[in-house]
């Protein structure tokens, strides 16, 4: 077994001392017995002592070198460990990025399959809740109403179930985000100097201690805001806010596409001038109602309405005045036939149609007569001149007058022309 350098160093003085004692003994012996022999022996011993001293010096020097090498190796080990830690962190960060990209990819795919604003809102809130994966956190999506322009609750999620949110138009946190158009991170609502929690929270309010929220903005247009809150303080970090900002950007694009889709769908079935349904939608609804009434053995009435002498209004007052007349009559029809299930549409030109499910012929005739009188007494001002207009109405009922959709329309159209032949401004029923 090899001895350590420190052990050898500690025994060198003892070895030198022994040699010196031996040298002294030999010197005494040589003095007494033989002088020449003692001189040679003394020289040999002196050489041995010199060699030992030389070895000791070399060992001391080697020990110093080993200490330096050890320090150097320790420094290299520390550097390698630090490098390994950095590499491990980089790998973990890369894995997290891949995981986040996969999650975002799934979110994008699900949002791309949602065509309506309602479906898109539900998917967005559900996916945000899934990514945060916290049963305590509540995801809330507020959107601006297209007509009123007010902020309103669109979707909410707590865990995997819808949440009951009483603040339908948002609270002070939401108003701050909309006003400043900046993301919001609150670690503890009780210590955040920007908000007076005593005014925000009441006894019936949800307990909220931490909040992250981002505005949904696209093309300098604010659609609403996306918010996640929790009853626990310091539940969110800056990284969570960054993730929510990314999801908010994706959600804003998806919501704008959904709004455009709904607008296109609305334009496809509504008349641009009057706002009433178009003939195509009427025919689809009529087929559905006839199928339903066949199974339930119920009656379905159909009204064809035509404006009397409408061409004279255009010739006398101009086409702009004709548009005013059409809008006025449309508004009267929409207000009068506003019960659930009724459908009013602009059939074409100055013709209108009304679909009345679960309505027998006698009731349809009574409603037709009332709306005829109402339109007749409706005052219209054209170029500062007070005027009015009358209508002729044809009424047909399924299944008494027809068994299929086309026949029902034909019968109502025939009744309309009968009303016009009899002098206009009257109601005529099919089969009369």
82-96, 330-344, 416-430: which range is least confident on average? 82-96
State the pLDDT at residue 55.
77
Cα 91 to Cα 88, 97, 135, 356: the distances in Å are 5, 10, 29, 67
Phi then psi dihedrals of residue 403, to 5 deg: -115, -15
9 vs 361, residue with greater confidence: 361
Residues 264 and 287 in one domain: no
Residues 170 and 145 in one domain: yes
State the pLDDT at residue 2.
45
Indicate the average pLDDT of the chain.
84
Does 75 have pLDDT greater than 70? yes
Does 58 have pLDDT greater than 60? yes
Asked if residues 223 and 117 have their Cβ atoms less than 8 Å apart, the reply is: no
Does 344 have pLDDT greater than 90? yes
Residues 330 and 228 in one domain: no
Encoded tokens for 281: 């939608």
* pTM of the predicted protein model: 0.61
Picking from 228, 245, 269, the residue at the C-terminal end of a domain is 269
Does 110 have pLDDT greater than 60? yes
Provide, for the chain, the percentages of residues in helix, strand and coil under a 3-state DSSP scheme, each rounded to the nearest 5: 55, 20, 25
Q: What percent of the chain has pLDDT over 90?
A: 34
* pLDDT, tens digit (0-9, with 9 covering 90-100), for 385-394: 888 899 999 9
Residues 291 and 327 in one domain: yes
Residue for token pair 């002098």: 423
- Asked whether residue 43 is domain-assigned, the answer is no
Q: DSSP state, 187?
A: S
Residues 264 and 121 in one domain: yes
Average pLDDT over residues 103-124: 84
Picking from 244, 269, 294, the residue at the C-terminal end of a domain is 269
Residues 262 and 188 in one domain: yes
Q: How far is CA 2 from the centre of its chain?
A: 72
Give the chain's end-to-end CA distance (angstroms, integer).
128
Cα(183)–Cα(137) distance, integer angstroms: 18
Residues 294 and 412 in one domain: yes
User: What's the CATH code of the domain at 334?
Assistant: 3.30.70.270
User: What's the CATH code of the domain at 133?
Assistant: 3.30.450.40
Closest residue by Cα to residue 304 from 360, 357, 346, 358: 346
Orientation of helix 117-132 relative to helix 35-112, angle to 10°: 160
Residues 295 and 412 in one domain: yes
- Asked whether residue 14 is domain-assigned, the answer is no
Residues 180 and 299 in one domain: no
Residues 178 and 307 in one domain: no
Residues 212 and 324 in one domain: no
Tally of domains within the chain: 2
pLDDT class for 1, splitting at 50, 70, 90?
very low
**β-strand pairing of 385-387 with 391-398:** unpaired
Picking from 269, 304, 325, the residue at the C-terminal end of a domain is 269
Cα(38)–Cα(48) distance, integer angstroms: 15
Q: Which domain holds residue 339?
A: 279-429
Residues 247 and 347 in one domain: no
- Asked whether residue 98 is domain-assigned, the answer is no
* pLDDT, tens digit (0-9, with 9 covering 90-100), for 257-288: 999 988 888 888 888 889 899 998 999 999 98
Cis status of the peptide bond prior to 399, with omega within 30 of 0: yes
Asked if residues 144 and 222 have their Cβ atoms less than 8 Å apart, the reply is: yes
Q: Quick count: other Cβ atoms within 10 Å of Cβ 417?
A: 14
């Amino acid at each position: 077994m090899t001895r350590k350098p420190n052990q050898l160093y500690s025994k060198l003085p003892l070895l030198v001392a022994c040699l010196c004692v031996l040298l002294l003994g030999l010197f005494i012996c040589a003095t007494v017995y033989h002088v020449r022999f003692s001189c040679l022996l003394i020289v040999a011993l002196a050489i041995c002592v010199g060699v030992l001293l030389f070895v000791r010096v070399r060992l001391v020097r080697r020990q110093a070198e080993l200490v330096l090498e050890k320090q150097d190796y320790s420094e290299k080990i520390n550097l390698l460990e630090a490098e390994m830690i950095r590499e491990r962190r980089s790998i973990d960060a890369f894995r997290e990025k891949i995981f986040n990209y996969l999650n975002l990819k799934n979110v994008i795919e699900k949002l791309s399959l949602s065509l309506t604003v309602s479906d898109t809102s539900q998917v967005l809130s559900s996916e945000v809740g899934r990514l945060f994966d916290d049963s305590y956190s509540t995801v809330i999506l507020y959107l601006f109403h297209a007509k009123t322009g007010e902020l309103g609750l669109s979707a909410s999620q707590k865990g995997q179930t819808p949440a009951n949110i009483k603040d339908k138009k948002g609270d002070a946190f939401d108003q701050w985000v909309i006003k400043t158009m900046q993301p919001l991170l609150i670690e503890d609502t009780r210590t955040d100097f920007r908000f007076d929690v005593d005014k925000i929270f009441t006894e019936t309010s949800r307990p909220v201690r931490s909040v992250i929220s981002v505005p949904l903005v696209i093309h300098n247009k604010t659609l609403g805001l996306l918010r996640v809150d929790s009853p626990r303080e310091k539940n969110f970090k800056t990284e969570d806010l960054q993730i929510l900002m990314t999801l908010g950007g994706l959600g804003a694009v998806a919501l704008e596409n959904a709004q455009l889709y709904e607008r296109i769908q609305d334009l496809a079935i509504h008349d641009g001038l009057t706002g009433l349904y178009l003939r195509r939608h009427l025919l689809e609804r009529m087929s559905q109602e006839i199928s339903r009434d066949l199974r339930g053995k119920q009656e379905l009435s159909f009204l064809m309405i035509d404006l009397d002498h409408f061409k004279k209004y255009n010739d006398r007052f101009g086409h702009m005045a004709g548009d005013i007349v059409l809008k006025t009559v449309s508004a009267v029809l929409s207000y009068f036939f506003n019960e659930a299930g009724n459908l009013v549409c602009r059939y074409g030109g100055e013709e209108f149609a009304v679909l009345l499910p679960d309505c027998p012929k006698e009731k349809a005739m009574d409603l037709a007569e009332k709306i005829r009188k109402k339109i007749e007494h409706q005052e219209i001002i054209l170029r500062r001149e007070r005027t009015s207009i009358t209508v002729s109405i044809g009424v047909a009922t399924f299944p008494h007058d027809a068994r299929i959709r086309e026949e029902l329309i034909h019968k109502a159209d025939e009744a309309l022309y009968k009303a016009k032949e009899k002098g206009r401004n009257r109601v005529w029923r099919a089969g009369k």
